[in-house]
Structure 1
Amino acid sequence: ISLTCISSECRSFYELRRHIELLLLLLLALSAVAGQARYSIPEEQAEGSFVGNIARDLGLDVTRLISGKARIITKGGRQYVDLNKDKGILVIKERIDREELCGKTTPCSFSFEVILENPIQLYRVTVEVTDINDNSPSFPKDEIILKIAESVASGTRFSLESADDADVGFNDIQRYGLKPSDHFKVEVQNQSDGGRFVEMVLQNPLDREKEETHSLVLIASDGGEPRRSGTVRIHITVLDANDNAPVCSQPVYKAEVKENSPEGTVITTVSANDADKGANGEVTYSIAHVVKETKQLFEVNVQTGEIKVAGKLDFEKSKTYQLNVQASDHGGYSDTCKVVIQITDENDNVPTIQLMSFSNSISEDSPPGTTIAVLNVDDEDSDGNGAVKCSINSDVPFKIESSLTGYYTIVTEDFLDRESNPEYNLTITVSDQGSPPLSSSKNINVKVSDVNDSPPKFDHSEYTKTVAENNSPGLSVFTVSANDADWGQNARVSYFLQERDINGLAVSSLVSVNSDTGVIHAVKSFDYEQIKWFEFNVTVRDAGSPPLSSVATVKIVVQDQNDNPPQVLYPVQTGGSLVAEMVPRSADVGYLVTKVVAVDVDSGQNAWLSYKLQKATDRALFEVGLQNGEIRTIRQVTDKDAVKQRLTVIVEDNGQPSRSATVIVNVAVADSFPEVLSEFTELTHDKEYNDNLTFYLVFALAVVSFLFITCLVVIISVKIYRWRQSRILYHSNLPVIPYYPPRYSDTLGSATLPHVYNYEVCRTTDSRKSDVKYILKWFYFRVHSTSLDLSKAHSLCIHKKTNKQQQQQPQKNKKNKKLALW
């Protein structure tokens, strides 16, 4: 077996690998300081296998990973690694095939970002996937057929299809072997671009006559543990002599082609010449010594040597390709030329936007500079085609800032106000600098969460409402309304009364307010005569934290109703006395007898009073002034007129409906008191009868009480004893006649009684008790007597005394007397 070592220094391979690992560890330490972490794991690890302690390597606490909602963000690809936040470690999420992930690229790694919130932190993690020897070398074909002229000299080289091993490094193909090795040996040629191709070298001349065919086995072995290998069988047919090999016009061809060029696009043409003639001079072209993926992208015309595009070229996958074009004649001779194809970039990739972190809600009291989103922008094109510019719409209070390469943050530029704008629609636009430029956009919606910064406001700062008095308690007066520009709980308002005293009463005893609806109710019935209006304050308060409030002033005006009848002030009506106005028989027409004085506690037209004569003993003798209540004679008094005149005067107000009061005015038409006394004596007897009746009723009640309350027997006996004694002392009654002449000015020119009279009463000695009182400036004659019997009186003298003014008046002026009978 012939073995060839591919590495120039196989013995120093392990030493070189050790140096590379030390360098990687140094780079990993530097990246951790910069907010990055790097790990290395072998491929094909089982799910859940440990990758690294990310919390320790990034200097983070496990609680920070949990509170920050740490998560892994990948850019569109598969997620091979998962984060265990409870332990702060990275573990394998799914099986990793290094060959599927990176192909031949070394070192093979993938990156992702670990992002945390509150505050937002971003860490980049790179995981290198090391190769294991899990793939065997393989040849493109199971069998290679060669035709070699017998005249080929020793040392002639024959290109063979090289094997392919998906592994890399030491696990890749390290050597080739050929057996049997009687005539040929195998050599591996290294190219400047790192590629390799296998050649079979003739060691001993061939003799077709001795051996027309040869069967060989080409073995490709890698350097892994355990070692893997692949084989291909070579069938050689020895031909007759063809002593000239094709020669390429130039050893290296260089060409350029745009990516995404359509299939069939001619890239370049290779050519070769063969000095032989005939069939031995005909040259055919083929692509040899390239990997399978390259062969799928390009094709060569067998006859002309034109190299055309056969697949989709992508600059982002590979920028250059190297083809080995083999020119062969029919005699088995060949030559190989190199074709280097440069792929030029086209602006064929639209920039992409990926949200790494986004808060769709932000508080309106957030200060400027608050981050709401972190995004990653990427363009797979190169140079100007891959240079991107990111922006957002200008009509929002946000701006975009660049943080890391390819990363942008969206932050607030100004203070927010939810009441002015509750949400914002942001359009993120990213464009490259290609020609024509390509762009993409992404829309996000940011809602502004409410803060209790707006106090509730009443529709009016002052309210005035008129309420009719005598309203029913609980009456809904009216509604105050307030609005709060905030939202939700911060906009829910409640209404309250501010306590204060109104005429000594708490405002809550007059009105109440519904805390939810703002409806103001009357707690009690209002009385205009007690309170005509009152003011109070209503506070509206929202349910925010802290709550905000405002105050409105409410004025309730009580509207008067005709709920009070007129009250007669004069003449005074008493239950135990009879008042009489004296009119002399000489009174002329229009003589002022007296004046009815009344008031109404209502107001306005409800208090306008009118006086009417309802009943009279003689309607033709007296009249009542409609507006002033004055009682005057309407004709001359004559001797035929009765002494006792009874007038019923009704006083009405002007309300709707009207209310009234009546007063009885007794008028005595006489010139002397004896005449008056004789006329009114029978009234006193009725009074005595009424008094006795009342006494008997009280006595009957006392007797009934005695039956039920035996403990009061002694007290009742004493009262009966005292009552019997009083019967002995007081066996007769005489009415008492006080005199109340008012002093009126004669508005019609005829005087009434503008004088002052005093009277003296003389009584007999057998009167048991007497009391005479004289009051100046009034005709007041009061005889308080418990018993007065006219039949037993020897004399009753009334002496008239006049003052100086009376002496100057003519004797013909009659005296007006007012009698009170008790």
Structure 2
Amino acid sequence: LTVFLLWQCIASVSGQARYSVPEEQAEGSFVGNIARDLGLDVQRLVSGNARIVTKGSRQYVDLNRDKGILVVKERIDREELCKKTTPCSFSFEVILENPIQLYRVIVEVTDEMHLKIVETAAPGTRYALQRADDSDVGLNYIQKYSLKPSDHFKLEMQSQPDGSQFVEMVLITPLDREKDEEHALVLVASDGGAPPRTGTARIHITVLDANDNAPVCSKQVYKAEVQENSPVGTVVTAVSATDADKGVNGEVTFSFAHVDQEAKNLFDVDKKTGQIKITGSLDYERSKSYQLNVLASDHGGYSDTCKVIIQVTDVNDNSPIIQLMSFSSTISEDALPGTTVAVINVHDEDSERNGLVECSINNDLPFKIESSLSGYFSIVTDDVLDRESVSEYNITITVTDKGSPPLSNRKTINVKVSDVNDNPPKFDESEYSRTVPENNSPGFSVFTVRARDADWGQNARISYFLEEKQINGASLNSLVSVNSESGVISAGKSFDYEQIKLFEFNVTARDAGSPPLSSVVPVKILVQDQNDNGPQVLYPVQTGGSLVAEMVPRSADVGYLVTKVVAVDVDSGQNAWLSYKLQKAADRALFEVGLQNGEIRTIRQVTDKDAVKQRLAVIVEDNGQPSRSATVIVNVVVADSFPEVMSEFTDFTHDKEYNDNLTFYLVLALAVVSFLFITCVVVIISVKIYRWRQSRVLYHSNLPVIPYYPPRYSDTLGTATLPHVYNYDTCRTTDSRKSDIKYMQPMSQSLVSVDDVGTESAQNGQQRSTASTLRPRGGRDGKERQHANHPNSRWTLKGQILAHIFFFFYFKKLHNEPLTVIL
């Protein structure tokens, strides 16, 4: 029956657990987690009213149902419990109800030696251990000892004089109480029997503290808030610090360090507890926060410092606060929609609903506000920007809390739109046309071209340039220049209307952007004529070396055309309108001059009282302001035959004024003409020599005399001034101001005599003829030839001949007027 009941009892045991615990453990020491080891839920232990059932009267272990763990209930003495029995253990059962479950727990009590070692003990320190007992002798007696673990200690056997041995534990590495306050070692003794038996003993080492650690504050920064109406004695916060040392070495005291006098008058710290209390009246408007430095010190002189930041809060009267966390005061006009302009943080120092805020901006702007994180808002672009339309924006941020009544706050930020070079310069006019008077001074400011750029800064900084261009063979830069900054166009030289009347060019305006943009405008400059040129008389020619006279027959009718004064003015417009008038008009004037055409005509019949020699001073005047004029002397001879004219030559000649400048120009012209003449002669001779060499025929050739054929002129009435052709043999002295002229027999206009040196070539069929040389009358051929060979006479004769030919063709082509007598 007893065996059956025992079997039933064992069969009802659902499981078991085994633990070991050192002896002399303090009450409440942890033994094991029975809920985990038995696979039970803590709630099952509570609902099943789990409890411990022991066989003896003493219960060494207690069950904590709420945590499911086993703890030491009372101190366990291994020698008292088991005497010398090894191993030493005790057991008990854990029973649960509803349903009933039974678990067995076996607890082994291990032997233990207690040692106390200061953490500053030096390596090599020895500690004697209790020797193990063995009733056997010889080989069955204890043979060796071992220690586990052996991180800090090692074993050494020492012999005594009686031959017995004992065991010493030697420290090999320093101990650190702050790292390991206790060490648990197992000493194993083994005998030499077969099979060998062992005995174990636990060594419990307690490391004693030394003051080798400084206090450490629990936080480096403490933050606390207190309302401004908090009474004196209110605890704001408490600072704490820990010291890894123990006992007196670990006691920490608190005090203020480096705190201003105002904070000392308002707060105090408890030396032992670290509590910070209010000792004065707080004022939120005077100071919103305080920073206290608290010093934590131990008795060994070690210390640590922590900061306490106390925020003083207002009493339900705080408006929301707007903080700009990130802000770009300038944004490019080409920024894409969605570009962030500013990030703001909004907070309300009130709490609960009074601290909830809503944020918005004005709706008429190309921006919008987005919520990113709690309390953070981003202002981003919502449309394309154009700096030329709007260069800056004022964004008003409105924040309103949800209190009652609600409080709000506003903040305005200014965002400037930075420029992008997207606009080329534009001129004020599509084309510039300006007038500048001639004879201007070099550097004269003609006008200013101006271009405007809708951009800003460097992008709107405009420079002006002229194009590279040639005008009438001259570089444009020599005519005008442009100021690269102001656009002022200045004359590079004095303009002459008679040389250039207008010129056109382009001006380029280029900004300083990157890349630069430019535009071009055409410019036209008109040179305005000034009356800077007086009239120039082309006919009659006034020279100091020849005599010009107009012959009027005594039978001339009223309106008879005597001659025509021809003058030109190189100016233009009304400055070139010429009018003619006589300088002095007698009471019975025989002649008048046409106001517009310069024709000198008779205004009455010629009478015997009229002087044969008439000297008319014709004034040619232009229409400029002020007007310029020129005077020409016209000599008129009233006679029916040429001999009458010759009798008056001497008087005319002596009355003429000699013009030194005109003589100089005449000599210069004669030199040029002579050079050209000699060049032509050399060329002709070269050609003839070349032809002679080609044909092997020798031709003798002399230079011909330049032919001169006095033309036949008729006036408008059909009456010829000189009805026949006359040849003149002229002999000039070295004084060019005086001349002698001989009258020759009239000849037919077709009469031509061949020079004795001229020949007619039968080979080329060309006819060569030269005008008959002027032969003297009265047998003075030798004298005349001598005069003709004189150098001064030769050059003067050539000049007269060329001048006569020029005026002949000029007047015949332009005016078809009667030919004057050229003397």
Alignment TM-score, normalising by the size of structure 2: 0.46
Q: Larger Cα Rg: Structure 1 or Structure 2?
A: 2
Alignment TM-score, normalising by the size of structure 1: 0.46
